[in-house]
Amino acid sequence: MVAMWIVTGGAGFIGSVLLWKLNQEGHDNMVVVDRLESSEKWKNLRARRFADYLEADDFLLRLEAHAFKGVEGIVHLGANSSTTETNASHLIQNNFDYTKRLALWCLAKKKRFVYASSAATYGDGRFGYSTDRETTERIQPLNMYGYSKQLFDVWALRQGVLPNMVGIKFFNIYGPNEYHKGDMRSVVAKAYEQIRKEGVIRLFRSYNPQYKDGEQERDFLYVKDAVDVVYDFMTKRSYKGLYNLGAGSARTWNDLARALFSALNVPPRIEYIEMPETLRPKYQYHTQADMRWRQAIKKAPPFMTLEESVRDYAQNYLAKEDPYL
C-alpha cells in the first residue's frame, strides 16, 4: 500500500490505533484529519508516523478544490460520537453532511471509501442486527447520534452507491488511546479508575425485568482487533457494502467487571447505582453483532477474548505512566 490514504478522525480513538496498525505494516504516507481543539487527542499522535495533518474544515475545502493527488482512498472515522448530544443540527452537519461530501468525492474520483457507521443505529434491537436492506431501512435509533449515522447508511443504500464503499457498524470498542473521550470512555477505562481509588466498580441498575442488575449485554471488541479488520477493508477490494464489527457474542457488564478485577488481582466488588432518568428510555439492554460474514471466512484469525483483551488493556496500558499505544 504505497499510495496515500486519508484518515479522518485520525487523532481520535480508533483512528489513532489504525495509524498504529498502518505503521506496523510499514505505511506512513497518510494525511491525518481531525479537530484537535483543546482536547488531549494530540497525545495519540506523538508516536505515529504520517505525511501531514490538517484540521477537518480546512481539509474539506482543500479536498473539494482538488488539492490532493495520488490518493488511494479515505477512511472516514471522524464524527461527534456522543450519544448524549442533543444539538441535532450539529450532528446532521458534522456526521451526515460531511460524510456525504467525502463519499461523493470518492465516488467521482473512483477512490476507496471506508466509513464508520455505528451499532447505535440498531436502537433497542427489536428488528435484529442484520445489515441487509430491509433491516437497515427499518431500524430506529434511540438517540440523535445513532440517527445521524443511520441517515447516511440509508442515503447510500437508496442512492445505490453502498456497494461502492464499505460502511462499518462498530459495536462496543474499547482499548488504549480513548482517554480524551471523557464520559464517553469505555466502562473498562472508567472502572479501572474506580477500582484504583475505591476498590469498587459501579454499574447501572437494570430497569428491564428481563435483565438483572449488571446482566445487561453488550458485544465488546478490543480496538486492536477492530483495526485489523478495518485494515482488511482498506486493502481488500472484495469487501463492499455494510458490515457489523463486534465480537459476535454478547457478554454482560458483570462479566466485564469481573474480568477487570481479575486482571488487577483485586477481589471483585460491584455496586449498582441508579441510571439517570434521561438515559432510561434510550438505554440498550442487549447488543450483539451479526458476524456471519466473518465467520464464513476460512482461516480468519480469532479475536481476543474479553478476558484476554481486558487484561492487555489494564496491565499494558492503563497501569502505565504513559498509557498510549
Statement: residue 37 has pLDDT above 70: yes
CA–CA distance, 243 with 205 (Å, rounded to integer): 31
CA–CA distance, 285 with 206 (Å, rounded to integer): 8
Statement: residue 311 has pLDDT above 70: yes
Statement: residue 279 has pLDDT above 80: yes
CA–CA distance, 125 with 289 (Å, rounded to integer): 10
Statement: residue 106 has pLDDT above 80: yes
Give the CATH number of domain 181-219+249-285+304-318.
3.90.25.10
> pLDDT for 163-174, tens place per residue?
999 999 999 999
Identify the band that residue 266 occupies on the pLDDT scale cut at 50, 70 and 90.
very high
Q: What count of Cα atoms within 13 Å lies in the side-chain half-sphere of residue 32?
A: 27
CA–CA distance, 307 with 259 (Å, rounded to integer): 5
**So what's the pLDDT on residue 64?**
92
Mean per-residue pLDDT for 144-149? 95
Mean per-residue pLDDT for 25-31? 97
**So what's the pLDDT on residue 1?**
59
Identify the band that residue 210 occupies on the pLDDT scale cut at 50, 70 and 90.
very high
Of the residues 129, 145, 222, 317, only one is catalytic, namely 145
Report whether 82 contacts 145 (CB < 8 A): yes
Q: What is the pTM of this model?
A: 0.95
Residues whose CB falls within 8 Å of the CB of residue 299, separated by 6 or more in sequence, listed in order: none
Reading phi first (left if > 0) and then psi (alpha if -120 to 50, else beta), residue 189 is in: alpha
Helix and strand tally (H, E) in the chain? 11, 13
Give the CATH number of domain 4-172+220-245.
3.40.50.720
Statement: residue 267 has pLDDT above 70: yes
CA–CA distance, 238 with 61 (Å, rounded to integer): 31
Q: Which three cell numbers stand for residue 299?
A: 482461516
> pLDDT for 45-88, tens place per residue?
999 999 999 999 999 999 999 999 999 999 999 998 888 788 99
Of the residues 43, 181, 240, 282, only one is catalytic, namely 181
Mean per-residue pLDDT for 123-144? 94
Annotated catalytic residue 240? no
Q: Please give the mean pLDDT across all residues of the chain.
A: 95
> pLDDT for 216-256, tens place per residue?
999 999 999 999 999 999 999 999 999 999 999 999 999 99
So where are the chain's domains?
4-172+220-245, 181-219+249-285+304-318
Annotated catalytic residue 181? yes
Statement: residue 27 has pLDDT above 90: yes
**So what's the pLDDT on residue 81?**
82
